[in-house]
Amino acid sequence: MADTWQERDDWAALFQEHGAEGTLLIVDQRQDAQATWVHDAERARQRFVPASTFKVPHTLFALDAGVADDEFQVFAWDGTERTAAAWNADQTLRSAMRNSTVWLYQHFARELGEESERRYLAEIDYGNAEIGSDLENFWLAPGHLEVSAEEQIGFLQQLYRNELAFDEADQRLVKDLMIGEAGRDWILRAKTGWSGELAWWVGWVEWPSGPVFFALNMDTPNRMDDIPKRDAIVREALRGLEALP
């Protein structure tokens, strides 16, 4: 993929305008486009902690192992008050994906165990496939699992085509859980992630003529104050490519 990447000076200006340091990789696979655009190609190949973007493959692991049955199963809240109000309630896969409910995926990790987590990560060739010794936080804290923007898109492309080593029904369910917005002829499927120091937004916009994949990661020295920049940069770049209304 990297041989055909085209650097975008206007995206460099976009990051500068928003006071953000990061990378954005967009792979446009619409029939009339077929191009790969990037800001900071070196960083797009650099691995970082995936944070909650890992909920996408992690949901596939849970479904495949029978740790989660379907989108209707209710997982009972343990009564522990957490910082995000939406987490302090029973969850389904849909609400957990929407609200990025960390405790449910920590439950999945405990149920799966180290051996299964390592096996699944190796099967899908996800980043460095490392979980270290911290089973409940390996995708949240730096120093364990890491993945690049390029690798995020490679994984999403396989998911889009139902080509991962999981039941097609499970792959279709996870894609349904990822839907954030939709119009008459387009669907935005994506997942955010935030480690506290680094923010992600990865996904794709589905058009009749084909998908447009994107992966952004950026530093968040101002923590929550920097989070809106993630959304703004990606949307402006996609609109510039007429990949988002």
Question: What are 147's strand-pairing partners?
Answer: 48
Q: Is 7 helix (H, G, I), strand (E, B) or coil?
A: strand
Among all chains, which residue has been given the structure tokens 């992630």?
A: 193
- DSSP per-residue letters across 141-176: STTS--B-HHHHHHHHHHHHTT-SSS-HHHHHHHHH
Q: Is 119 helix (H, G, I), strand (E, B) or coil?
A: helix
Instruction: Report the alpha-carbon distance of residue 200 to residue 60 in Å, rounded.
Output: 20
Residue among 52, 95, 100, 148 flagged as catalytic: 52
Instruction: Report the alpha-carbon distance of residue 84 to residue 82 in Å, rounded.
Output: 6
**100 given a catalytic annotation:** no
Contact 183, 245 (CB under 8 A): yes
Active site residues: 52
